């Protein structure tokens, strides 16, 4: 097929707007008379508000109102059954609902004033007396309370054990049986969570929200506040990073809408960076991985157990251990997953949730097994390569992981690695090289798109999806321009508005694979219409042609076999006497694809330098090869993987949300204490896309790339640190004091 646009490294079409400041974010929709809300957060982790006194705050000139649980109207939220699309089983947190404190930093009041500064000052005057009760926030102290989570939509529970894993482990000639500890991490997108609610004279609301799902927020607000669908519209045209933090409506949108509704005026609420730590997070996790192998390195027993924290009101769970049962072939497998409810807010999906922690443990343990067997880590993985999904006994729709190992190893220069730990040096610096596999889901969800082609040859496509920095605007424009043979400049893609055709949240790496096919289908419907008009032209050069006989190229419809026989699309529209053709299409997962396990894979190779005296670690090089089927845009695709690798460096060496259990509070609640990799921490990163064809995964043949880039990176780095130093660190982040 022709590829005028798809597969080309086209610059982001929203890039200029973003770097020039023309792109408007949720907190930038200004209007006269806007009121500003400032959130007051709980100082205790569990208990009750015994008394809350807002009198002093109300005295400050400019303060309009202070919302607390005592004066917030009773609303439809009394129905505890209402949940947002992404909510795990349980009873979602309801801000200002009652006097109960469920977690430290819980929002307990909203001060609304005519300026942000006044609201912030007045918030300091709200007097709160707490009746604190004991809280429990320490995962290690409560592992005995671990239990299976209630089933969460989209999350597969671990498969049933197969074979006799514990007995097989006992008998295995070579074994590794180890435990891994990883901390909580917070998403920390650059853009704070923010909502500006525009209140119209008739009471209708336009909600400019930072979110990964405008329709999810719309439906949540309608349900909570009892609005009719037309009473409010949620808009999110640009998002300054999401990573999963914006999958669920956050409390600032609730508070801003509450205030706008009650005060009948426009209101903005913005979180501060410290308040961002009162939101969901990647949960701290404890794992055991036990691997048993024959002397030849054939896996004979695989056991992976995980405990992760959640809140007391929702059973958050993610797939941590499942990957272990499908990435390698083994007959004797036991995978267990438990949640431990604590006095914390509910965790929230963060970039490759579950796989990041699960693959850190599994791929570290595989490295330990390779060392015990004295076999090359790639050899061990190839020897146990899964040709089908052992969890569900399904074939893979495609799997080019072998080629990922080969291509990445070659580019990295793996052959030059001396397998002996502490054997490689640059001056006084120890050099280590490690590798790991990565795996993530490649799902498709139902999505719709509308295409409008006007007589001037301009196409507008729309869908209520998002661009959280991933490149959605660009790739959807490419898909549409390709389908109709138009120039990129003649196509406009609209997103981030709840009134547009239905789309899922932007998450789970399923936007390209879900919205892309809908865009394609809407354009195909227009193609059929255009051909119909073209055939009616007097003396049509296309006479008798079927849709498969023609192609849409350079603004024309032409015969594939005789490209000189062509008509311009604009001429067809004019002759047809139509101002515009409008077509909407919805596409969902096919029955056929359900018979296959659909995954994207990666192989990551990392080199580190470790200073022998100081224990400082530098990740000097990362090579990652990704098998992600058809690549719509190698430039935006590469950027997705680069971002994932940088996050992997952060997980390995920097990021950690530290709880002070005396207070039950995350103390690292700013970017000085919560470390993320900065430019000086990020060196060469080489991204390879391995060729992979997949006609099963979805009609476009694409796999999502938003998450695979981070999976396995921390293990590759930890394995490199072992190779450099001979120290096996089974916790993250790895710090210099772990190496001294
Ligand atoms: Mo992703 S954690 O589904 O935004």
- pLDDT tens-digit readout, 665-689: 999 999 999 999 999 999 999 999 9
**Probe residue for ligand 1, chosen from 247, 472, 600 as the CB with the greatest number of ligand atoms within 8 Å:** 247
The partner residues of 449 in beta bridges, in order of sequence, read 585
Cα radius of gyration rounded to whole Å, the chain: 27
Distances (CA, A) of 127 to 130, 618, 668: 10, 48, 25
Q: pLDDT tens, 511-547?
A: 999 999 999 999 999 999 999 999 999 999 999 999 9
Check whether 2 has a pLDDT greater than 80: no
40 alpha carbon – ligand 1 mean position (Å): 28
Check whether 507 has a pLDDT greater than 70: yes
Atom of ligand 1 nearest to the CA of 244: 4
Is 559 in contact with 565 (CB distance < 8 Å)? yes
Residue range 569-593: mean pLDDT, rounded: 95
**Probe residue for ligand 1, chosen from 507, 514, 704 as the CB with the greatest number of ligand atoms within 8 Å:** 507
pLDDT of amino acid 709:
98
User: What residue spans in the chain does CATH classification 3.30.365.10 cover?
Assistant: 15-21+444-588, 145-185+281-443+594-739
Check whether 445 has a pLDDT greater than 90: yes
Atom of ligand 1 nearest to the CA of 243: 4
For helices 713-725 and 355-373, angle between their N-to-C axes, nearest 10 degrees: 30
Largest CA distance in the chain: 86
Residue 706 to residue 622: CA distance in whole angstroms: 18
Residue range 559-586: mean pLDDT, rounded: 95
Residue range 301-311: mean pLDDT, rounded: 98
Atom of ligand 1 nearest to the CA of 507: 3
Is 281 in contact with 187 (CB distance < 8 Å)? yes
Residue range 705-730: mean pLDDT, rounded: 98
Give the pair of three-digit tokens for residue 442: 């490649």
Alpha-helical (H) ranges within 226-373 are: 251-263, 273-276, 324-327, 355-373
DSSP secondary structure string for all residues of 540-559: -TTTT--GGGEEEETTEEEE
Q: pLDDT tens, 100-126?
A: 999 999 999 999 999 999 999 999 999
Q: Rounded to 5, what percent of the chain is helix, strand, coil? A: 30, 25, 45
Residue 710 to residue 712: CA distance in whole angstroms: 6
115 alpha carbon – ligand 1 mean position (Å): 34
Look up 707 and say whether it is catalytic. Answer: yes
Residue 614 to residue 431: CA distance in whole angstroms: 14
Smallest CA-to-CA distance from 39 within 307, 272, 338 is with: 272
Residue 301 to residue 303: CA distance in whole angstroms: 7
Is 180 in contact with 364 (CB distance < 8 Å)? yes
245 alpha carbon – ligand 1 mean position (Å): 8
Distances (CA, A) of 701 to 442, 588, 598, 628: 11, 14, 11, 9
Residue 461 to residue 224: CA distance in whole angstroms: 31
Distances (CA, A) of 536 to 88, 369, 527, 568: 55, 70, 14, 14
Q: pLDDT tens, 69-84?
A: 999 988 867 666 678 9
Give residue 680's Cα distance to chain centre: 25
CATH tag, 31-134+190-241+246-276: 3.90.1170.50
Residue range 623-646: mean pLDDT, rounded: 98
Model-level ipTM above the cut of 0.95: yes
In eight-state DSSP terms, residue 321 is S
Average pLDDT, rounded, for the chain: 97
Percentage of the chain surpassing pLDDT 90? Answer: 97
| Other beta carbons within 10 Å of 426 | 9
Residues 6+ apart with CB under 8 A from 251: 39, 93, 95, 107, 278, 279
Residue 637 to residue 621: CA distance in whole angstroms: 19
Residue 516 to residue 412: CA distance in whole angstroms: 33
Give nearest CA residue, ligand 1 atom 4.
Answer: 244
Residues having CB closer than 6 A to ligand 1 are: 212, 242-244, 247, 349-351, 353, 507-508
pLDDT of amino acid 127:
98
307 alpha carbon – ligand 1 mean position (Å): 21
Atom of ligand 1 nearest to the CA of 352: 2
Q: What's the CATH architecture for 145-185+281-443+594-739?
A: 2-Layer Sandwich (3.30)
Active-site residue identified among 314, 466, 506, 707: 707
Residue 65 to residue 110: CA distance in whole angstroms: 8
Atom of ligand 1 nearest to the CA of 246: 4
Confidence of residue 3 (pLDDT cuts 50, 70, 90): confident
Smallest CA-to-CA distance from 602 within 696, 724, 716, 510 is with: 716
Residue 471 to residue 383: CA distance in whole angstroms: 37
Residue 364 to residue 358: CA distance in whole angstroms: 10
3-state secondary structure of 641: helix
Smallest CA-to-CA distance from 705 within 649, 625, 586 is with: 625
3-state secondary structure of 576: helix
37 alpha carbon – ligand 1 mean position (Å): 28
Give the pair of three-digit tokens for residue 573: 């529209």
The partner residues of 429 in beta bridges, in order of sequence, read 426, 611
Residue 292 to residue 61: CA distance in whole angstroms: 70
Give the pair of three-digit tokens for residue 51: 């008394």
14-34 residues labelled b (16+ CB within 10 A) or e (exposed) = beeeeeeeebebbbebeeeeb
In eight-state DSSP terms, residue 143 is G
61 alpha carbon – ligand 1 mean position (Å): 42
* 725, 726, 728, 733 alpha-carbon torsion, rounded to 10°: 0
Residue 621 to residue 687: CA distance in whole angstroms: 11
89 alpha carbon – ligand 1 mean position (Å): 18
pLDDT of amino acid 75:
80
**Probe residue for ligand 1, chosen from 281, 508, 647, 705 as the CB with the greatest number of ligand atoms within 8 Å:** 508
pLDDT of amino acid 82:
74
Smallest CA-to-CA distance from 204 within 250, 268, 269, 257 is with: 257
Atom of ligand 1 nearest to the CA of 349: 2
The partner residues of 553 in beta bridges, in order of sequence, read 556
**Probe residue for ligand 1, chosen from 154, 189, 244 as the CB with the greatest number of ligand atoms within 8 Å:** 244
Atom of ligand 1 nearest to the CA of 706: 1
Residues 6+ apart with CB under 8 A from 423: none
DSSP secondary structure string for all residues of 348-390: ---SSTTHHHHHHHHHHHHHHHHHHHT--HHHHHHHTB-SEET
Confidence of residue 620 (pLDDT cuts 50, 70, 90): very high
Residue 316 to residue 339: CA distance in whole angstroms: 8
CATH code matching the domain that covers 15-21+444-588, chosen among 1.10.3720.10, 3.40.50.2300, 3.40.50.1360, 3.30.365.10: 3.30.365.10
User: What residue spans in the chain does CATH classification 3.90.1170.50 cover?
Assistant: 31-134+190-241+246-276
CA atoms within 13 A of residue 54's CA, in its CB half-sphere: 18
3-state secondary structure 397-428: CCCCHHHHHHHHHHHHCHHHCCCCCCCCEECC
Residue range 490-495: mean pLDDT, rounded: 98
85 alpha carbon – ligand 1 mean position (Å): 13
Residue bearing tokens 């730990």: 421
**Probe residue for ligand 1, chosen from 245, 279, 349 as the CB with the greatest number of ligand atoms within 8 Å:** 349
154 alpha carbon – ligand 1 mean position (Å): 12
pLDDT of amino acid 79:
67
């Amino acid at each position: 097929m022709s590829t005028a646009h798809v597969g080309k490294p086209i610059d982001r079409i929203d890039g200029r707007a973003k770097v020039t400041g023309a792109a408007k974010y949720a907190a930038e929709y200004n209007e006269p008379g806007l009121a500003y809300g400032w959130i007051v957060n709980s100082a205790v982790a569990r208990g009750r508000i015994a008394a809350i006194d807002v009198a002093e705050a109300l005295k400050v000139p400019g303060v309009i109102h202070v919302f607390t649980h005592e004066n917030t109207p009773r609303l439809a939220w009394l129905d505890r059954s209402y949940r947002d699309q992404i909510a795990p089983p349980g009873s979602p947190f309801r801000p200002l609902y009652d006097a109960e404190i469920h977690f430290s930093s819980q929002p307990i009041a909203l001060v609304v004033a005519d300026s942000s500064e006044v609201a912030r000052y007045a918030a300091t005057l709200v007097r709160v007396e707490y009746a604190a009760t004991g809280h429990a926030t320490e995962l290690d102290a409560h592992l005995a309370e671990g239990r299976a989570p209630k089933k969460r939509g989209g999350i597969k529970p671990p498969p049933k054990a197969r074979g006799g894993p514990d007995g097989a482990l006992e008998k295995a000639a070579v074994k590794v049986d180890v435990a891994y500890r990883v901390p909580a991490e917070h998403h920390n997108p650059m853009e704070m969570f923010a909502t500006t609610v525009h209140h119209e004279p008739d009471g209708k609301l336009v909600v400019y929200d930072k979110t990964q799902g405008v329709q999810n927020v719309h439906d949540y607000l309608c349900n909570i506040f009892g609005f009719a669908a037309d009473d409010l519209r949620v808009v999110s045209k640009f998002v300054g990073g999401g990573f999963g933090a914006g999958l669920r409506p956050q409390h600032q949108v609730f508070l801003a809408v509450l205030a706008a509704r009650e005060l009948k005026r426009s209101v903005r609420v913005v979180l501060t960076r410290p308040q961002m730590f009162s939101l969901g997070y990647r949960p701290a996790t404890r794992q055991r991985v036990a691997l048993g192998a024959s002397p030849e390195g054939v896996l004979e027993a695989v056991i992976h157990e995980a405990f992760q924290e959640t809140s007391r009101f929702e059973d958050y769970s993610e797939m941590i251990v499942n990957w272990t049962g499908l990435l390698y072939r083994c007959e004797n497998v036991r995978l267990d997953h438990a949640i431990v409810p604590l006095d914390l807010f509910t965790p929230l999906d963060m970039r490759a949730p579950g796989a990041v922690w699960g693959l850190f443990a599994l791929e570290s343990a595989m490295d330990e097994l390779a060392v015990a067997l004295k076999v090359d880590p790639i050899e061990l993985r190839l020897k146990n390569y899964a040709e089908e999904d052992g969890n569900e006994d399904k074939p893979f729709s495609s799997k080019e992981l072998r080629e990922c190992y080969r291509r990445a190893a070659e580019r990295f220069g793996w052959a030059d690695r001396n397998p002996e730990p502490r054997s490689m040096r640059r001056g006084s610096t120890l050099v280590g090289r490690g590798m790991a596999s990565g795996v993530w889901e490649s799902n498709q969800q139902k999505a719709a798109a509308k295409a409008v082609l006007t007589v001037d040859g301009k196409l507008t496509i729309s869908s209520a999806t998002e661009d959280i920095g991933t490149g959605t605007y660009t790739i959807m424009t490419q898909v549409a321009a390709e389908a109709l043979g138009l120039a990129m400049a003649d196509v406009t893609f609209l997103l981030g508005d709840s009134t547009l055709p239905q789309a899922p949240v932007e998450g789970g790496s399923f936007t390209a694979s879900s919205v892309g096919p809908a865009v394609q289908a809407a354009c195909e419907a227009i193609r059929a219409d255009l051909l119909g008009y073209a055939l009616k032209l007097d003396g049509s050069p296309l006479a008798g042609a079927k849709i498969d006989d023609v192609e849409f190229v350079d603004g024309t419809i032409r015969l594939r076999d005789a490209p000189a026989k062509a008509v311009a699309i604009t001429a067809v529209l004019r002759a047809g006497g139509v101002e515009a053709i409008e077509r909407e299409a919805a596409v969902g997962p096919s029955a056929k694809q359900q018979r296959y396990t659909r995954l994207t894979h990666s192989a990551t190779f990392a080199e580190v330098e470790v200073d022998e005296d100081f224990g400082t670690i530098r990740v000097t090089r990362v090579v990652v090869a990704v098998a992600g089927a058809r690549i719509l845009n190698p430039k935006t695709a590469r950027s997705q993987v680069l971002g994932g690798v940088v996050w992997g460096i952060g997980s390995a060496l920097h990021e950690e949300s530290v709880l002070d259990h005396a207070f039950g509070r995350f103390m690292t609640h700013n970017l000085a204490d919560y470390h993320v990799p900065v430019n000086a921490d990020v060196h060469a990163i080489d991204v390879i896309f391995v060729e992979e064809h997949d006609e099963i995964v979805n009609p476009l043949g694409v796999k999502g790339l938003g998450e695979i880039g981070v999976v396995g990176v921390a293990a590759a780095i930890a394995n490199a640190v072992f190779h450099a130093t001979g120290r096996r660190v089974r916790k993250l982040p790895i710090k210099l004091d772990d190496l001294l």
